[in-house]
Amino acid sequence: MKKILITGALGQIGSELTSYMRDIYGINNVIASGRRTPKGSKVVEDGIFELINTDDVNQIINVVKKHKVDTIIHLAAILSAVGEANPIKAWEVNVGSLLSVLEIARTYDCSVFTPSSIAVFGDYSQKFKTPQDEVQKPATMYGITKSSGELLCDYYFKRFGVDTRGIRFPGLISYETLPGGGTTDYAVHIYYEALKNKKYTSFIKEGTYMDMMYMPDALNAIVEVMETDPGKLIHRNAFNVTSMSFAPEHIAQEIKKHIPEFEITYDIDPIRQAIAESWPDFLDDTAAREEWGWNPKYDLKSMTKDMLAKLKEKIKAIN
């Protein structure tokens, strides 16, 4: 990876991946892009930033040509809950823009990383220790777009030799930028509310397990999978990865160790609850461990400690 274009760089993953990659690959070798230029954004102000609406293929082509891009990290996407509210838009954004990126990669000889999700799995998939190569049949439009995206990426690799790689991310927890409309978002909001109000009302039911990951492990995973010698990869699109699996009451118990007054209550959102129940409880990520050395650093305990400390500093700096 010498010249990297990141689409959706203002989102939850992009805003942290941009700084992480600028540190590794150099400020002039990472081109962040998004649909707006928010004032005070480090992504926009600390390096190269280009305005790209990924619905417009020519805007992507112009930036790839202008900067002689050799790697596209395609993050622009609509998440699960927003996808259920507007399924057609989710298909257009998630599949349409990926197809444009793959065609550009074929034409201009670029590698492509795009995140997949635990959402590719559905009611017919094994729930516990969900295997790498498992029946998918997702129940949501978001899952359908991610499953189709995996097939498209594999197709472009096999048919045209485009170096495509992907990861099935679980819920990502981070303090820099809020996630935009996913089912696992409760596991981010709970930390903000714990610090602000010492209580949180979860839209996900007690006892609902989902895989999760702290953002530093996710950033490292993207770089690791992209830097792996292609000869070592049996799979490509996309790898199961997980760091931890928990239900809302477990994260609440961990927060209580730092904030003893903290209380969790429940007001279930039937749409997001149904999505969560269709997803795995816990993935088997052996293939990622064996093929490219996936080895997460954070568990629920260390993540909670770090998340609360970082958020406290952030809230203090704002006030």
Active-site residue set = 142
Residue 184 touching ligand AKB (CB under 6 A): yes
- State the Cα–Cα distance between residues 46 and 171, nearest whole angstrom: 28
Q: Quote the tokens at residue 31.
A: 């081109």
Nearer residue to ligand AKB within complex by CB, 48 or 81: 81
CA 172 to each of CA 117, 187, 273: distance values in angstroms, whole numbers, following the listed order: 10, 8, 18
Structure letter (DSSP) for residue 260:
T
Task: Choose one: 2-10, 180-188, 227-235, 243-251; the region binding ligand AKB (CB under 6 A).
Answer: 180-188
One-letter amino acid for residue 270 of the chain: P
Residue 145 touching ligand AKB (CB under 6 A): no
Residue 138 touching ligand AKB (CB under 6 A): no
Residue 29 touching ligand AKB (CB under 6 A): no
Which residues, including other chains, have CB under 8 Å from residue 115's CB and lie 6 or more apart? 13, 75, 77, 166, 167, 168, 169, 222, 238
Beta carbon of residue 79, minimum distance to ligand AKB (angstroms, whole number): 4
**Near ligand AKB by CB under 6 A: residue from 71, 80, 147, 202:** 80
**Radius of gyration of the CA atoms of the chain, in A:** 19
Nearer residue to ligand AKB within complex by CB, 152 or 218: 218
Q: What residues are paired with 74 via a beta bridge?
A: 7
Beta carbon of residue 24, minimum distance to ligand AKB (angstroms, whole number): 24
Task: Choose one: 54-62, 92-100, 176-184, 290-298; the region binding ligand AKB (CB under 6 A).
Answer: 176-184
Closest by CA to 18, choosing from 65, 79, 73, is 73
Nearer residue to ligand AKB within complex by CB, 47 or 171: 171
Residue 47 touching ligand AKB (CB under 6 A): no
Q: What SS3 class is residue 9?
A: coil
Beta carbon of residue 139, minimum distance to ligand AKB (angstroms, whole number): 13
- State the Cα–Cα distance between residues 257 and 254, nearest whole angstrom: 5
Angle at 21 between CA 27 and CA 312, to 5 degrees: 105
Nearer residue to ligand AKB within complex by CB, 5 or 188: 188
Tell me which residues in 118-137 interact with ligand AKB (CB under 6 A): 118-119
Residue 139 touching ligand AKB (CB under 6 A): no
Which helix (H) or strand (E) segment is 308 a member of? Answer: helix 300-318
Residues in contact with ligand AKB, counted by CB under 6 A, come to a total of 13
Nearer residue to ligand AKB within complex by CB, 117 or 245: 117
Residue 171 touching ligand AKB (CB under 6 A): yes
Task: Choose one: 85-93, 117-125, 241-249, 282-290; the region binding ligand AKB (CB under 6 A).
Answer: 117-125
Q: At what angle do helices 300-318 and 248-256 cross, to 10 degrees?
A: 70
Angle at 302 between CA 296 and CA 305, to 5 degrees: 145
Alpha helices in 97-165 (DSSP H): 97-108, 141-160
Tell the residue number behind the tokens 């790898």, with chain if given. Answer: 239
Tell me which residues in 148-167 interact with ligand AKB (CB under 6 A): none
Nearer residue to ligand AKB within complex by CB, 13 or 72: 13
Residue 79 touching ligand AKB (CB under 6 A): yes
Closest by CA to 215, choosing from 171, 256, 184, 155, is 171
Nearer residue to ligand AKB within complex by CB, 47 or 138: 138
Q: Which residues are near ligand AKB by CB under 6 A? A: 79-80, 117-119, 142, 169-171, 179, 182-184
